Amino acid sequence: MPSQNHFPLPAGTPIDIHCHRYRAGGGLQILSLDTHELLHSRNQNPIECIPDDCYFSLGIHPWFIDRQDMETACKTLDALQHHPQLLAFGECGLDKCIATPMVRQIQLFSRQLELAERIGKPVIIHCVRAHAELLQLKKSISPSQAWILHGFSGKPALAAQLIEHGCYLSFGKALLQSDARVQQTLVSVPIERLFLETDAADASIETIHAAAATIRSLDPADLCRQIHRNFLSVFLDD
């Protein structure tokens, strides 16, 4: 994995583990890229545009499976697996709300999980109404690398089930809404299994951190330090 000294990471730095656009001064960010973006970009290679103080994740999102040649996409993942700023694979995963057959989704997701295991990087996961299939895969693979479900907004019971099977949960813009269920779920998650993100929201990671701290009745600085520890443990554990 990348060294913890890749660039400075003060303990109070807000960490955004999943975003779709870089924000200058927005703390440490993991910019999410899809192989589709790399293969079809009309401008400069998106990876060449990533600032030096930013990491990225790379994957084949289930939404984009049918928009690209899968062998070329997988070769792209292979070619970039040792990039110094590549911190995770994903987002990738399973989605029952799209037309792509689940069998095909599982096939491509499994290939990325195998690569993540081989290289030793965590996986940022998109999962929509396919948690049973996801957990079945986890049982069959028994991965050594962390699985992080991004944009989580499910019920506490589902969160507990995922955590029981070793998953991490990342919360985002849903925390800014008056959604008692999401707030209840956030409170129920063990803090050492928690991450925060902006995803595609306009809100800053500082705003989401503040909302999470309020919901959990924590000092924002204490929450920030704990997520910093989670980040070092999952992403930069040499």
> Do the beta carbons of residue 231 and residue 190 sit within 8 Å?
no
pLDDT at 45: 82
Domain 15-235 has CATH 3.40.50.720: no
Angle, helices 156-164 vs 180-188, to 10°: value is 30
Give residue-wise pLDDT tens across range 116-160. Answer: 999 999 999 999 999 999 999 999 999 999 999 999 999 999 999
In the predicted model, is pLDDT for residue 4 greater than 70?
Answer: no
Give residue-wise pLDDT tens across range 187-215. Answer: 999 999 999 999 999 999 999 999 999 99
pLDDT at 3: 42
- Confidence band of 1 (pLDDT split at 50, 70, 90): very low
Residues 6+ apart with CB under 8 A from 86: 55, 56, 57, 58, 80, 121
Residue 123: C-alpha distances to residues 146, 210, 220 (Å): 6, 26, 27
pLDDT at 201: 93
Instruction: Please give the mean pLDDT across all residues of the chain.
Output: 92
